[in-house]
Structure formats: C-alpha cells, structure tokens
Amino acid sequence: MKKFLFVKFISAMIFLGILGFTTISLVGTDLVEDHVESVYSGRLYREASKITGQRAIKYYQNIDTPTEFYDSLCSSVYEKEEILLISPKGKVLMDTSQKFIAEDFPELKSFDPGKSSGSYYQIGDFFGYFQEEQLSVMVPVTVNMQVKGYVSMHLPMSVLCHQRDSLLDTIHILFLLFLGIMMLIIPIFYIMINRPLKKIIQGANTFASGNLKYNIPLDKEDELGYLAMTLNYMSDELDMTGNYQRKFISNVSHDFRSPLTSIKGYTEAILDGTIPPEMQEKYLKIVVYETDRLYKLTQSMLTLNNLDEKGRQLDYSDFDINRTIKTTAEAFEGICRDKRISIELFLTGQTLFVHADMGQIQQVLYNLIDNAIKFSSPDSIIKIESTLKHETVFISVKDTGCGIPKESLTKIWDRFYKIDSSRGKDRKGTGLGLAIVKEIINSHKQNINVISTEGVGTEFIFTLQKSVSEN
C-alpha cells in the first residue's frame, strides 16, 4: 500500500508548523509588545504614584531637604529607570541619572502634562529631553489642592524590546518543541491507523475474490472497528443473498423441470404414435394440467418480483374489508361445490372499513382461501372471520384440514417451501403462495400468524389498520 496517508500527515504538520510560526511572528509580536508595555507602564506608574504620595509632598512641605529627596528618588531606581522632578512650567529640577545641580537641567520643550490623551503612559523622547525612545509615566504632586510639580519615570524602549524578543524566543522554542514532539508522534499514530487499515483492505480484497465467509479480525471500539464490523455484516448479508439465489435457482429449476418433462414426454409420445389416438385426449389433459402449473408458477414469481422492485409501494385507500371477503370467497364457489367444501363468513358489522392496498389484500385473501381449500377434506368447513379490537382489524381464515407439522411452521413462509418434501401431494402448488402473503402483509407494516395442529386444521390470522373515517 502506498504511503499516501503518511505523506499527507507529514505535509499537514509541516504546513501547520509554517503557518503557526508565521502567525506567532506576525501577530504574536504585537500582542507580546502590548503586554510588555502594559506590565512595565503599570509598574512605573505605581512607583511614581508612591513617590508623589509620600516623599514628594514632604519635600514641598520642606520636611525633607532637596538632598534627602534626591537620595530617595535614586533609591527608587531598580533597573535602567530614570526619575525626573519637573516644575509646573516644565523645568527639570532633578534627574536621577545626573548630579543633583538643578540649574544645569534644561527646560522641556512644549511641555504639556495632558499630552498622553487619557493614557497614563507615553512613548517617545519626552518633549525632546531624551535622545532614545522612552516609556514614560508622569504623576502630579498635589499639595493643598495645588500642583507643585510632577514626578516622571522613564524606561528605555530598548529594554522593553529586549524583553519582548526574549518572550518571543521562548514562545518560538516552545512551539518548535511542540511541533517536534508531534512529528515524533505522527509515525506512532500512523502505525495505529495503518495496521487496522491493512486488515480492512485485505478483508475487502478477500470479499471481492468471492470468499464471503471471511471475517476481518479487528476488535476495536472506534471508527475503524465500526467500519470492519460493517464490512463483516455486509459480507454475511451478501453470503446469505448468494445462498438464497442459489437455492432459488435450484427450486425454480426443479419446479420447472417436472412439468416440462411431462409436457415434452407426452407430446413426443403423441407425435411418434406411441400413444394411440383413443388415448391422446387423456394425455393432452395432462399436458394442459402441467401447463397450468407452469403458468401459476410464473405468475407467482412475477408477483414476488413486482413486490421487490416496487420497494413496497402501496396504493392505499379506504375500503370495506367485509365486502372484499365476500367477493373473494364467491370466486371459489365452483371449486368448493366440486370438493363439497363450505365457506362460512363471520363478519363484524354490516361494513368494516380498513386503510390498505385493496388489490394486494385481495391477493392475500385469495391465496389463504386457496390454500385452505387445497388442504381440506371433502365435506369440511372453512371459516372466515373479521373482528375489530382497539382500532385494529383482525382477519382469520380457518380450515379443518390436515394441519401443518410443528417443525414446518417457521418454514412455510419461505419461497418454494412445501410441506410435502417429495412434492407428491400438492403437485399443482408453487410453494410461493404464503411467501407472497407474508411479503404483502409486511409491506403494510402489519402482522400475520399461523396456528395449526396436525389432523385438526390450520388458522391464519392477519391484521389491518382500521380506516379513520368510514366512507
């Protein structure tokens, strides 16, 4: 198997690495810079406020001497900060970076205490005082509601840039370390995916070669395990379908071969004179009989195929099931007379409307009545009953015939299944009648059951949905 998946994993990680590194470099620089400015400006402002709130007031109240105040300012310098004492007019009075000689300090150009525009810090040369960009904060010294001066603290921007670059370098290193770990994990992750994939591909190839008995040996409770389980289920279903098709062909071949052999044999015997003219009518009737068998078998197969192809598409309507029962039973009047069989109807109400496909329900009734007559003895009674229970209509077809063996009750719905395995008792049957009944009832999402005792009789009961409004 070509390792396209592994290449895609590696390519995706490289792409994400480049994208992440670029994003950190472009976006992260501004974010880190803003963070550093915020941290340092906040510290400077707090320190300047402490100076103006304690030592500066003492200085302007002549409690502390200039020298003492200057020394206190110098003691407040931690790193490369520079502290200035400024007069209200912008004259620098003290500078912690120089000797305390007030008259040597210049006056600030265009001094404006409100230049920060609402921000408590500013970045620049601080009114032309510094040659290098500074992060500056300035706090007024207020005594008796009057501004006596300003304390300003300054930190070179080079210090902040160095701090920013250090943080960015740390982030870059951590990101590259994370990316490296992910690159090491990818082969392990690839192996974890590749091994079950190989088993699934092997299983799919095995299925394609025709071995549907094979099961993919993958016991994992994840998506790949679910895929393997689904493929195994698919192979089992295909195997069952294949077995059904083979059985179907075998049954069709058997059921077609017998009448065709009879038709061919008797026809050839008539043509070559083996059967004398006075006996030909008898054997021609047998030919017609076998032809009728072939016709019924073909029609039943077409009915089942039509049910499958239509995907259970039903033409629902509201109709009187009692009238349908009467009409269908009347169609058997002639055969019942010949076999001395009576059909008795026990119907609920004058009318009983159901919601179903009328044509297909007629087929169900026809097949059940035909089946009951077929296995009933002369001078017997077939009872057909309709009842209503809890908005569900129950239809019963009951005979007093030979009954169904217990071991065959679950098999009678199978296509081509006949109770008489030798096919000797019911040579005219197709073995498809009950299969058609089951398909039609299932397509209506209803139920059908059978109750049978050998030597006593058989009863088929199926349900239908009662019509909401009787017409």
Residue 127 has pLDDT above 60, yes or no: yes
| Chain center to CA of 159 | 56
What are the tens digits of pLDDT across the range 90-102?
888 888 887 765 5
Q: What are the DSSP E strand ranges found in 40-162?
A: 82-86, 92-95, 121-124, 134-143, 146-156
% pLDDT > 70, the chain: 85
Distance between CA 296 and CA 275 in Å, rounded?
Answer: 28
190, 6 Cβ separation under 8 angstroms? yes
Average pLDDT value for residue range 78-83: 82
Nearest in space to 21 (alpha carbons), one of 184, 163, 183, 171: 171
409, 450 Cβ separation under 8 angstroms: yes
d(CA 468, CA 471): 10
* Model confidence band, residue 424 (pLDDT cutoffs 50, 70, 90): very low
Closest by CA to 126, choosing from 111, 148, 106, 105, is 111
CB-CB contact of 115 with 122 (8 Å): yes
Burial 69-84 (b: 16+ CB within 10 A, else e): bbebbeebeeeebbbb
Q: Is the dihedral of CA 221, 223, 226, 232 positive or negative?
A: negative
Model pLDDT, residue 416: 67
Alpha-carbon dihedral sign for residues 305, 308, 311, 313: positive
For residue 380, the one-letter residue type is S
Would the CA dihedral through 58, 60, 66, 71 be positive or negative?
A: positive
Q: What's domain 310-465's architecture?
A: 2-Layer Sandwich (3.30)
Q: Residue 393: pLDDT above 90?
A: yes
pTM across the whole model: 0.47
Residues 6+ apart with CB under 8 A from 55: 64, 69, 72, 73
> What does the pLDDT read at residue 250?
62
Is it true that 4-162 and 223-306 share their CATH fold? no
How many angstroms separate the CA atoms of 90 and 111, rounded?
5
Confidence of residue 210 (pLDDT cuts 50, 70, 90): confident
**Statement: residue 285 has pLDDT above 50:** yes
pLDDT tens digit string along 302-339? 766 666 555 456 788 999 999 999 988 888 887 888 88
For the residues 148-171, what does the mean pLDDT come to?
A: 86
How sure is the predictor about 252, in pLDDT bands with cuts at 50, 70 and 90? low
pLDDT digits (tens, 9 = 90+) for 434-446: 888 888 898 888 9
Q: Which residues contact 365 (CB under 8 A, 6 or more apart)?
A: 324, 325, 328, 395, 397
- Residues 353, 318 contacting (CB under 8 angstroms): yes
Q: Tell me the CATH number for domain 4-162.
A: 3.30.450.20
Domain residue limits, the chain: 4-162, 223-306, 310-465
Determine the average pLDDT of the residues in 361-387. 89
Fold that domain 223-306 belongs to in CATH: Helix Hairpins (1.10.287)
Mean pLDDT of the chain: 81
Range from 51-55, 367-371, 394-398 carrying the lowest mean pLDDT: 51-55
Model confidence pLDDT, tens digit, residues 27-44: 777 788 888 888 888 888
Looking at per-residue pLDDT, the higher value among 413 and 125 belongs to: 125
pLDDT value at 192 more than 70: yes
Instruction: Output the pLDDT for position 419.
Output: 63
- Per-residue pLDDT, 259: 72
pLDDT in tens, 2-12: 556 667 777 77
pLDDT at residue 117, as a whole number: 47
DSSP, collapsed to helix, strand or coil, labels residue 437 as helix
